[in-house]
């Protein structure tokens, strides 16, 4: 595999495809999902969106953000506008 470079949280990251995915803050996750801060904290409190605590900081691994996104897509199927 060839090395790749990316920007994560405004920091340059270099590595191969086996590199660890980033952890997002609540505001970053909200920006990615286009959800407000309050709604995101509701989803965290309800357990629908998993998170970890690093000290006092709340972090959401990229993989869990993808799982939540898929949950929203699955729940939205079959809904008529």
Q: Which tokens belong to 64? A: 């869990």
What tens digit of pLDDT does each residue of 46-67 get?
999 999 999 999 999 999 999 9
Domains of the chain: 19-76 (1.10.1660)
The two most distant CA atoms of the chain are separated, in Å, by: 45
* CA-closest candidate to residue 21, choices 31, 12, 8, 33: 8
Instruction: Tell me the average pLDDT of the chain.
Output: 82
Residue 1 is predicted with a pLDDT of 46
Residue 23 is predicted with a pLDDT of 94
Question: Mean pLDDT, to the nearest integer, of 4-21?
Answer: 55
């Amino acid at each position: 595999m060839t090395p790749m470079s990316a920007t994560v949280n405004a920091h340059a990251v270099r590595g191969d495809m086996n590199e660890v995915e980033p952890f997002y803050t609540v505001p970053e996750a909200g920006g990615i999902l286009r959800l407000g801060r309050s709604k995101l904290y509701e989803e965290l409190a309800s357990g629908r969106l998993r998170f970890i605590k690093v000290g006092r900081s709340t972090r959401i691994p990229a993989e869990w953000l993808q799982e939540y996104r898929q949950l929203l897509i699955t729940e939205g199927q079959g809904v008529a506008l």
